[in-house]
Amino acid sequence: MIPVEVGDPTDPRLADYARLTDVGHRVRREPAAGVFIAEGATVLERALDAGFTPRSLLLAPNRVEPAAALAARVAAAGAPVFVAGPDVLERLTGYHVHRGLLAAMDRRPLPTIAEVLAGARRVAVLEDITDHTNVGAAMRSAAAFGVDAVLVTPSCADPLYRRAIRTSMGACFTVPWTRLERWPEDIALLHDAGFVTAALTLGERAVPLDEFVARRPAAVALVLGSEGDGLRASTIAAAAVEVTIPMAGGIDSLNVAAAAAVAFYATR
Ligand SMILES: C[S@@+](CC[C@H](N)C(=O)[O-])C[C@H]1O[C@@H](n2cnc3c(N)ncnc32)[C@H](O)[C@@H]1O
């Protein structure tokens, strides 16, 4: 398989890779165009293993040989493989592509909420998280600690954004997840499905995490809030219980991805 050489960063065949550092542009364009970007060999391999369909592969010249097997998989799926020099890659994407491998992949329709909740006993809700690395890290912990599904609120950052995927090490491809349509109204769907909704907060009325775990709820939804303000007051009011991770050392709160990891581990 011989990659097609491209020397012009404005070549329309590379449009999926344009302005990768322009977050505002990418978060609008990618879901609308039904595309996401897999960066690096490991992430691409996991995306292919998870059954995602490639649209194209773009390699730096020094990645053509090491990525030959992956390129063959992409070509076998009917997608073109391009090679472009470092200058072209940098002008196209807006950054120095040091991994030298980018793949444009087709998104799949998200499952329905009912589908991801079916058979689940432990789920997480990520409310309005803005930082893609936090979303990716939470997804990685969800996979590591056996959380059955993740629900993201309408304003939460995209789990299939390049940086979220990279931080998750591909867990965004394997953990069942979907986007809620109305929040916090959709918390009623969790209650109807039998979940005890636990709002993770720093509130004084909150039950310590160990105490909550000792109650052994049959099905639990762990609801985590945004980096700045934490959970909305309306979400806390609608949740069945407030749960806190006791802090020491004068630290008032954990980063949301760290809090997710602790809560996922404790409730495993
Ligand atoms: C950085 S914190 C937000 C802090 C915010 N000032 C607040 O009052 O919630 C982001 C999210 O992580 C979770 N979190 C962080 N530390 C926590 C703790 N000690 N106990 C429970 N949840 C915590 C909460 O869900 C919180 O909304």
CB of 79 closer than 6 A to ligand 1?
A: no
| Alpha-carbon distance values, 225 to 53, 86, 160 (Å) | 33, 40, 19
* Confidence at residue 11, expressed as pLDDT on a 0 to 100 scale: 97
Distance CA 244, CA 266 (A): 12
Give counts: helices (H), strands (E), the chain.
12, 12
pLDDT tens, position by position, 95-122:
999 899 999 999 999 999 999 999 999 9
Banded model confidence at residue 226, pLDDT cuts 50, 70, 90:
very high
Pocket lining: 259 vs ligand 1, CB cutoff 6 Å: yes
pLDDT of residue 14: 97
65, 83 contact by CB (below 8 A): no
Domains of the chain in start order, with CATH, are: 4-106 (3.30.1330.30), 113-266 (3.40.1280.10)
Please compute the mean of the pLDDT values over residues 22-38 and round it to a whole number: 94
Q: What percentage of residues in the chain have a pLDDT greater than 70?
A: 100
The span from the CA of 268 to the CA of 145, in Å, is: 6
Count the Cβ atoms, other than its own, within 10 Å of residue 171. 23
Local structure of residue 12 (DSSP, 8 states): G
Nearest one of 130, 136, 186, 128 to 155, comparing CA atoms? 128
For 137-190, what is each residue's pLDDT tens digit? 999 999 999 999 999 999 999 999 999 999 999 999 999 999 999 999 999 999
Per-residue pLDDT at 1: 76
How far does residue 260's CA lie from ligand 1's centre (Å)? 9
Q: What is the pLDDT of residue 138?
A: 98
Q: What is the pLDDT of residues 235-247, one digit of tens each?
A: 999 999 999 999 9
Mutate to test the pocket of ligand 1, among 126, 131, 202, 207 (most ligand atoms within 8 A of CB): 202
Provide the pLDDT for residue 98: 87
CA distances from 150 to 24, 131, 179 (A): 24, 16, 9
Residue 47 has pLDDT above 80, yes or no: yes
